[in-house]
């Protein structure tokens, strides 16, 4: 059965056909809602970028690498001048320590540095302390200590 619509004007017929086609296309183009997927129960485990750096996140990896650069720069500075640098600015151009690295804001971490000619203490404190953002501590012996429950110090366990 065909229904004929008689329009008084061709523009009315055109408007009716256009409205019908737009409504049909809109309904046809709608997608069915996606099937519910079960939530991921466990986040994928972090894979360290290097077997020598036991980081638990990208932020930790960057913090530990920063500390290693400072420790190497201090060793080179001490070897060259027979004393340690007393500020981070003094370390610029020692080893691979650059002027940009003097800034204590290191992304998710803040670097702390206290130096004398005989020793130094370097800390990396996360802005949010948790299992993936531990705090770190090193002094002139070059050993890095880590702690996930409080700011790291010389009594914190060594980083392994």
* Residue 6 covered by a domain: no
CA angle 101, 55, 85 (to 5 degrees): 30
Judge whether 78 lies within some domain.
yes
pLDDT in tens, 15-52: 677 666 666 656 566 655 555 555 555 557 888 888 88
**Taking 90 as the threshold, does the pLDDT of residue 112 lie above it?**
yes
Nearest-angstrom CA–CA distance, 46 and 80: 39
Q: Is residue 21 part of a domain?
A: no
- Residue 112 belongs to a domain: yes
Indicate whether 153 belongs to any domain.
no
The verdict on residue 134 lying in a domain is yes
Structural domain boundaries, residue 106: 58-147
Token output for 86: 């007393």
Could you read off the pLDDT of 60-75 as tens digits, one per residue? 999 999 999 999 999 9
Cα-based distances in Å from 111 to 19, 35, 73: 65, 47, 15
In a domain, 159, yes or no: no
Quick check: is 114 in a domain? yes
Number of domains in the chain: 1
> 127: Cβ–Cβ under 8 A, 6 or more apart, which residues?
108, 109, 110, 133
């Amino acid at each position: 059965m065909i229904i004929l619509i008689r329009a008084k004007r061709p523009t009315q017929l055109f408007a009716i056909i256009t409205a019908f086609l737009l409504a049909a296309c809109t309904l046809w183009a709608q997608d069915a809602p996606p099937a519910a997927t079960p939530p991921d129960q466990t986040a994928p485990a972090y894979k360290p970028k290097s077997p020598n750096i036991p980081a638990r996140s990208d932020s930790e990896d960057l913090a530990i690498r920063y500390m290693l650069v400072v420790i190497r720069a201090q060793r080179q500075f001490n070897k060259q001048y027979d004393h340690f640098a007393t500020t981070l600015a003094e370390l610029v151009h020692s080893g691979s320590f650059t002027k940009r690295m003097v800034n204590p804001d290191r992304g998710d971490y803040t670097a702390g540095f206290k130096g004398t000619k005989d020793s130094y203490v370097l800390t990396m404190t996360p802005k949010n302390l948790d299992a993936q953002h531990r705090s770190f501590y090193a002094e002139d012996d070059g050993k890095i200590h880590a702690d996930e429950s409080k700011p790291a110090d010389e009594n914190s366990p060594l980083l392994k």
